[in-house]
Structure 1
């Protein structure tokens, strides 16, 4: 599965406003709730519960908040970019700028892990991360990911 198979243009936010973890998650779930029909509060709750187990700020300016939601029909993926950076309690203690948000149906463990793995793998590319940080539009983000997605 490619990232662009599930990341929709309307789920990309290239200028997140929030400066704290919960606010970023609340911003990122808005388009996902609209497209999936899920309650935004339920999405935020499941993602914040996962954050309490350990931060999904993996370091290197990357955060991948994720969770599983009962009653969700299909997986939803969002992307966000914080120009200033957010204290996301990352492993390296540095600000987080690039966010991929992933919520899957409760029983979709396999697809959840495969997509998390794919996102993590492409984000090991420092040039890709820099290009994403410099993206100005959702179309820019899609094009950057498309180039990387096709090379796997």
Structure 2
């Protein structure tokens, strides 16, 4: 499974403007709601419900908010970067800069977990995270994700 199978280039946001978790999650959902014809409010609620269970901020400036949504045809994702960082209650207590939102169909536990593991794996690389932070635009961010994804 490759990340580019469920992350489209038009779902990459180079500059998130939200200052708090709910605003960031709403921004991450917008391109998916528009391109995938899904209810954006339902996606935001899915992510907020998941965050209530515990932060998806995995540390080192990365968060992978995720959830399952009935009726989705397959995995879908968006990516956003916050230059200033957001308090996302990450496990290391540091601000979160890189957000990878993932949505999966309701009955897709194995696929959902494989996707989460793959995202987590590529974002463990400090040089990759730094390159994403320095990328000039969304197109370059997508290219970097695509290139890093191809290594595994």
| TM-score bucket of the superposed structures, by smaller chain | over 0.9
Q: Aligned-pair RMSD on alpha carbons? A: 0.8
- What is the distance in 1 between the residues matched to 2:119 and 2:73? 21
- What is the distance in 1 between the residues matched to 2:81 and 2:17? 9
Structure 2: 5+ residue stretches without partners: none
Normalising by structure 1, we get a TM-score of 0.97
Normalising by structure 2, we get a TM-score of 0.97
Aligned residues: 152
- What is the distance in 1 between the residues matched to 2:105 and 2:136? 31
Partner SS, residue 97 of structure 2: strand
Is 1:91–2:91 an aligned residue pair? Answer: yes
The correspondence of residues 8-27 of structure 1 with structure 2, limited to 5 A, is: 8-27=8-27
User: In the alignment, what sits opposite 1:80?
Assistant: 80
The correspondence of residues 61-140 of structure 1 with structure 2, limited to 5 A, is: 61-140=61-140
Structure 1: 5+ residue stretches without partners: none
Partner SS, residue 11 of structure 1: strand
- What is the distance in 2 between the residues matched to 1:111 and 1:136? 32
4+ runs of 1 displaced by more than 4 Å? none
User: In the alignment, what sits opposite 2:36?
Assistant: 36
